[in-house]
Structure 1
Amino acid sequence: MQSGKLALRSQEWIQTALFQLMEKKEYSHISITEIADRAGLARQTVYRNFQDKDVILLNYLDGFMKGMWHDVGVGMKTTFDEEMFVLLFRNWQRNAPAALIHSILTKDRKIRQLIYKSICDYFDELLASRRNEPGENGEEAMHTHGLYAGKSLSSIVHMMLIEWTLNDFHLTPEQIGSVVSDLTASIRAYL
């Protein structure tokens, strides 16, 4: 990746171009050449910044997840609780780009896969920071349960986020956050 202000500006232009194209065209049919043309950059500049278009979108989604806590003035939370879920759903409803919502509504599988990956990556990062905290029980079984509990939690949050979006945000963020909290209570006991 490039470094400095120029690289950051190029990355912003590339992400903006991708979202503009997604408003008119299916994600899977968008090429790097089209993204570069829309951004007013050479293809080589796109490739210097991102390996492919999936990395462009994942970079945005990773920033979206991490920025969620910054936007509300909270450090990166390590507690998986109802408040965290409410914040996630509220941030999604308020700030997810229209092109991303449109791609979900058209049932684009690749977009769903990338959203799932970003949720998994984010939760994995949170869980890794918790593993560095002193624990009560260092048993291998708890580690194994924790690993699969983290993936199960990611799956449920992802599925609920997609269904909530498909249902036009029919519940408030507080309501959907409460549902997710209730559904994942037994899973979170292993985290």
Structure 2
Amino acid sequence: MESKAYSTITVTEIVRRSGVARQTFYRNYPDKDRILVEFLCHQFNRLEPRLAREAMSIEDLYRAIFQAWKQLIPPSLLANIRLADRKIRQIIFHSVTAVFEQQYSMYGLAADFVRSEFHHYASRSLSSVIHGLLVEWSLQDFKQSPENMGKLAHRLTESIHRYYLPAVL
């Protein structure tokens, strides 16, 4: 991604550059997108020790996500966001969704709610808001502070949280 757009990179190029066999690649990843999803999840999960150590509000969690995004996302990914690569945006959405599923589990959602169809929609709505803010914030060259973005994210998602995480609020 440092030298070409993500959408134009092929699995053949990845295996050739990494020095692994195509079969090894597919044994570990169903496609090239999974590599990037896992990378982004890993970057976000670097927050986990801090989240476990500190009692964080939802707004604090959002602020931490924006801080991590600004600090840990490589320039090549930002360049691909600026190229308006739809695939990159889908991958960011999937990674945000995966991270939220993991992080929100620590807030003790009731098992019947987690299994409900409503949980699916609430989770995707939250992910969509944060994903959109991360992408737009990147396109605006991080003009707002992570603190301000955390506040904005919290305000935009407050109504979802009333249903999704009532015990936290």
**TM tier relative to shorter chain:** 0.7 to 0.9
* Contact 2:44–2:69 (CA under 8 A) maintained in structure 1: no
User: Residues 22-80 of structure 1, C-alpha deviation per residue, up to 9 Å, x if partnerless?
Assistant: 1111111111111112112222332232221011111112212222223xx33288966
Matched residue, 1:56: 35
Structure 1 residue 132 displacement after superposition: 4.9
Aligned length, in residue pairs: 161
Q: Secondary structure at the match of 1:24?
A: coil
Which letter maps to 1:110? K
Specify every segment of 5 or more residues in structure 1 that has no aligned partner in the other structure, as ranges. 1-21
Q: Structure 1 pair 64/126, CA: closer, same or farther in 2 (3 Å)? A: same
Structure number with the bigger relative contact order (C-alpha 8 A, sep ≥ 6) is 2
Match of 2:141 among 164, 168, 179: 168
Match of 1:152 among 117, 125, 130: 125
Matched residue, 1:88: 65
Matches within 5 A, 1:16-165: 22-70=1-49, 73-75=50-52, 81-129=58-106, 130-132=108-110, 143-165=116-138
Which letter maps to 1:183? L
Identity of aligned residues (%): 37
Q: Secondary structure at the match of 2:47?
A: helix
TM-score in terms of structure 2 length: 0.84
Which letter maps to 1:131? L
Structure 1 residue 145 displacement after superposition: 4.3
* Contact 2:63–2:147 (CA under 8 A) maintained in structure 1: yes
Which letter maps to 2:20? L
Which letter maps to 2:18? A
Structure 1 residue 88 displacement after superposition: 0.2
TM-score in terms of structure 1 length: 0.75
User: Residues 78-131 of structure 1, C-alpha deviation per residue, up to 9 Å, x if partnerless?
Assistant: 966110011000000011011111110111000100110111122223344523
Q: Structure 1 pair 47/189, CA: closer, same or farther in 2 (3 Å)? A: same
Within 2, Cα distance between the matches of 1:121 and 1:156? Answer: 14
Specify every segment of 5 or more residues in structure 2 that has no aligned partner in the other structure, as ranges. 165-169
Q: CA RMSD for the aligned pairs?
A: 2.3
Structure 1 residue 181 displacement after superposition: 1.0
Within 2, Cα distance between the matches of 1:78 and 1:55? Answer: 31
* Contact 1:58–1:118 (CA under 8 A) maintained in structure 2: yes
Matched residue, 2:161: 188
Q: Structure 1 pair 63/76, CA: closer, same or farther in 2 (3 Å)? A: farther
Q: Structure 1 pair 99/150, CA: closer, same or farther in 2 (3 Å)? A: same
Q: Structure 1 pair 132/86, CA: closer, same or farther in 2 (3 Å)? A: same
Matched residue, 2:167: none
